[in-house]
């Protein structure tokens, strides 16, 4: 290992620590003051950085709230880009999602509760959350296309991916259970890893059955 490698590793760790500090500051301030009353300047000050530094990490105020989830989805996208050595893509997705779901998920229980409360009042928070499902869907579609050897104009991978992601969204709701501001969920969210695993297994079996019927 060279000095350059060590310096690079230290810089990356420092960046990761600062990113986490901004996330934690955003969660605390959003919970204490609400979304509208919290400013980027306040989040930055709480984390000990300038607003300019904040924007070098996050493009918007709400982005800091999602930081650990964003990191987790980026890792999942990278993982799906490489076909699994054993098993199929859907089984691989299940393993990755279950790993992400452990210990309260990427955001953790506290930040997840804050996110749910904000999603009940702010549609754009829901939209931001749902973009992560879209990213997973696109990555899964590409992985399925490679696994199935599908042509570029074959819609089957996209259809299978859409079904899997719809079921995933239902088993791990992030704000989409709040159809109108100020309302409460129409049904309880999945609250345990066991419930998520059960629903995800059903989703994967449904998707596999659909793939088998259409091939």
* pLDDT score, position 167: 73
pLDDT per residue, tens digit, the chain (215 aa), is 554 444 557 888 999 999 999 999 999 999 999 999 999 999 999 999 999 999 999 999 999 999 999 999 999 999 999 877 778 898 888 888 888 877 668 888 899 899 999 999 999 999 998 899 999 999 999 999 998 899 989 998 998 898 888 877 766 555 444 434 444 443 334 456 677 777 778 777 777 776 776 66
* pLDDT score, position 176: 40
Three-state SS sequence of the chain: CCHHHHHHHHHHHHHHHHHHHHHHHHHHHHHHHCCCCCCHHHHHHHHCCCHHHHHHHCCCCHHHHHHHHHHHHHHHHHHHCCCCCCCCHHHHHHHHHHHHHHHHCCCHHHHHHHHHHHHCCCHHHHHHHHHHHHHHHHHHHHHHHHHHCCCCCCCHHHHHHHHHHHHHHHHCCCCCCCCCCCCCCCCCCCCCHHHHHHHHHHHHHHHHHHHHHHC
């Amino acid at each position: 290992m060279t000095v350059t490698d060590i310096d690079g590793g230290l810089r990356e760790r420092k960046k990761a620590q600062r990113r986490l500090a901004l996330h934690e500051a955003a969660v605390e301030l959003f919970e204490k003051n609400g979304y509208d009353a919290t400013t980027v300047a306040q989040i930055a000050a709480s984390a000990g950085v300038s607003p300019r530094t904040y924007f070098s990490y996050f493009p918007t105020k709400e982005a800091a709230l999602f930081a650990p989830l964003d990191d987790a989805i980026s890792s999942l996208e990278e993982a799906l880009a490489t076909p699994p050595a054993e098993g199929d893509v859907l089984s691989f997705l299940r393993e990755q999602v279950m790993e992400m779901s452990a210990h309260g998920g990427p955001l953790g229980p506290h930040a997840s509760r804050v996110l749910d409360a904000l999603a009940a009042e702010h549609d754009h928070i829901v939209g931001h959350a749902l973009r992560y499902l879209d990213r997973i869907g696109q990555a899964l579609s590409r992985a399925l296309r490679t696994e199935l050897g599908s042509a570029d104009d074959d819609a089957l991978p996209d259809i299978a991916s859409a079904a899997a992601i719809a079921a995933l969204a239902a088993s791990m709701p992030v704000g989409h259970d709040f159809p109108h501001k100020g309302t409460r969920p129409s049904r309880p969210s999945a609250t345990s890893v066991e419930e998520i695993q059960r629903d995800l297994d059903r989703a994967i079996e449904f998707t596999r059955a659909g793939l088998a019927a259409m091939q």
